[in-house]
Amino acid sequence: MTISAPAITVKALTMAYGSFVLQRDLNFTIAQGDIFVIMGGNGCGKSTLLRHMLGLKPPASGSIWYGEENFWELPDDGQARILRKTGILYQTGALWSSMTLAENIALPLLHYTDLPPAIIRELVSFKLSLVGLAGFEEFYPAELSGGMRKRASLARAIALDPDFLFFDEPSAGLDPISARILDELILELRESLGATLIIVTHELASIYAIATNSVFLDANSKTMLATGNPKTLLRECTNATVVNFLTRGTGNREVRTV
């Protein structure tokens, strides 16, 4: 059996806002190619953990390693080099409303590459086709449905062929069918890009459908209670808080993805 090398390793991480400790003693590893879910109840620090991993907020203590590099001990140019390998899908999509989809998706290509305009146009069209939006280059975000805006945001997130893709509640605001389409798209992109995906979500259907690994954060104990494949946790975890979350409080350990 081949064991994937660690892509991201979190060691003894404490997250805090001033004197208020949100989480402490977080230790987990994300393997290359994982679809890794950060899960837990409201207020447990899921999005804050994402901010630490994306270089937006330094941790109170502990470390975050990308491969063999300790991110928060790198100089600014070293951090920027790693962040250029990341793509982000924000909860709201965060598309520029005054720009067409083509202009939105071209932004990272214009900022980080020296590609000529003709090549950028080709890449923009290709990325849109990957997310099922071929021919929508000249549409504005307001002209699209919520699910289409999420897919357009995903096209922008993959513009630079990132090694790491981060998602903050990707299914938020979507109907069940649109959410399922997005899940299927995430799986397809993982295969085509070979990227490692880190997803903040509380949607159990999505968690069971796509996750290969996870960490469960608990607001009451202020630490992680479990890590591993969510389906395995559902079958084998003995912690009542984790089981309650994974079964929606029913105690029924049958996996349901719809």
Query: Could you tell me if residue 87 is inside a domain?
Result: yes
Query: Could you tell me if residue 12 is inside a domain?
Result: no
Query: Could you tell me if residue 252 is inside a domain?
Result: no
For residue 139, the domain's CATH number is 3.40.50.300
Element holding 22 (H helix, E strand):
strand 20-31
pLDDT of residue 257: 52
Q: Judge if pTM exceeds 0.85.
A: yes
Query: Could you tell me if residue 41 is inside a domain?
Result: yes
Q: What is the total count of domains within the chain?
A: 1
Closest CA to 61 of 47, 72, 46: 72
Query: Could you tell me if residue 61 is inside a domain?
Result: no
The answer to whether the CB of 208 falls within 8 A of the CB of 257 is yes
Q: Which domain holds residue 110?
A: 32-50+83-246
pLDDT of residue 4: 60
**pLDDT tens, per residue, the chain with 258 residues:** 345 668 999 999 999 999 999 999 999 999 999 999 999 988 899 999 999 999 999 999 999 999 999 999 999 999 999 999 999 887 666 788 898 999 999 988 988 888 999 999 999 999 898 888 888 889 998 898 877 888 898 889 888 889 999 998 887 777 788 888 888 888 888 888 889 999 998 889 889 999 999 999 999 999 999 999 999 999 999 999 999 999 987 766 676 554
Distance CA 35, CA 188 (A): 12
pLDDT of residue 112: 87
Query: Could you tell me if residue 104 is inside a domain?
Result: yes
Query: Could you tell me if residue 56 is inside a domain?
Result: no
The answer to whether the CB of 14 falls within 8 A of the CB of 60 is yes
Query: Could you tell me if residue 176 is inside a domain?
Result: yes
Distance CA 43, CA 171 (A): 18
pLDDT of residue 59: 95
